[in-house]
Every structure is written in structure tokens, then in C-alpha cells.
A and B are shown apart, each in its own frame.
Chain A
Amino acid sequence: DAKTTQPTSMDCAEGRAANLPCNHSTISGNEYVYWYRQIHSQGPQYIIHGLKNNETNEMASLIITEDRKSSTLILPHATLRDTAVYYCIVRVATSRAGGTSYGKLTFGQGTILTVHP
């Protein structure tokens, strides 16, 4: 599994963009980068994922460097409700009989993002 490195904590002002970095220098060519977040006491919530192109959805944008060794999750207009632990995960494919692949998610320590007024 490719390991990921994230800062332990970050702060962001409400209404500003939150940029959360992640290093995954040993990522393999067929591994995806996933981002999840966990708001206090709740189950993790999927945010976004990508392989090598930049991705955007209603929650966030994901910027992956050309060499794929790092990525940045961008929350364009952070709110107080975005305060959470953010996990950057590289997916390990698990094969089953029949050729269908599924991914196990290996969670690291994550980044504690605090959005303040």
C-alpha cells in the first residue's frame, strides 16, 4: 500500500478556501487517491477521489500533481460545519474471483481542520 503523509492540523477562516495537502510519493500507477472526512463522533464521509486528473464535485476539488506524488483537497468556501478530520487515502485494489476489484481503505491519522469565525 502506498503510504500517505498529512499535516496533523490546520486552521482556516470561515468563507476562505481550505487547502489540505497530502503526500503519497510511493503511489502506484493504478492506485486512486481518495479523501474522506469525519465530523466528531460520526462515521466517515466520502468527499472525492481521483486517479491523475483534477476532479471537482459539489463538495470539493482535488488537485493531483503531474507526477502523482502529492495532492491537495480544496474546500472553496469553508464553513464552520467543515471542521473535521480529513483523511487522504490511497486505495488498494482487492481482487475476487471473476475479476471484479474492490478497494480496501487504509486510514492514517488525517488532518484536523478547524474552521474559525
Chain B
Amino acid sequence: DQQVKQNSPSLSVQEGRISILNCDYTNSMFDYFLWYKKYPAEGPTFLISISSIKDKNEDGRFTVFLNKSAKHLSLHIVPSQPGDSAVYFCAASAQGSNYKLTFGKGTLLTVNP
């Protein structure tokens, strides 16, 4: 049962344009959402997060939007840079679950120069 879904396995964008990565979830108990970035042969690294009490969180070029009614979140990267090319994982956590993270399958973002 996939509680966190990233339906696009890959995304390709041009340098300087916006990258939009999407994530859907099914568990209404999730109240905290995170994005992790992973380069090949490395572990995931934290990128940005958002609490369910907010609908937007911004950090430099990265913005996460949360639509609770649609159980959907998205990560916007603008402008995209070649160094952003990586796998992006969406993750979610619920207060009553010992704060364990449930991850999606990831989306491979390729930013072309």
C-alpha cells in the first residue's frame, strides 16, 4: 500500500526554467512533509519541509506547496540548475507513528544545460 506516491519517475527541464515535482499521499494522519534529494552512490539529503498547518514554505530557489484537501504537495525549483539533477524523494510523517518517515519512490530530475 503506497501511502506516498510520486507518479512521475522522471522529469527533464532546461536550465533556468522551473522544475515542478509532484507528490500525492493517502494517509490523512500525515501532518509533516519533507523533500529529500539524492545523488548517485550517496544517501538522501534533506532539502525542505512543510507542516500541515502551512500551505507554502520557501527556501531560496526551493518552494514546497501543500494542498491538504487534495492530499497533494509539490516542490518547485526555480531557476533550475544542472547541479539540481538528482532523485527527489517526497516523505511524510504522522505524529502518532513515532515520527517515522514514509517515502515515495522518487522522481529523477534532469536539468539540461
Q: Do A and B come from one complex?
A: no
Which A residues are within 8 Å of any B CB, using their own CB? none
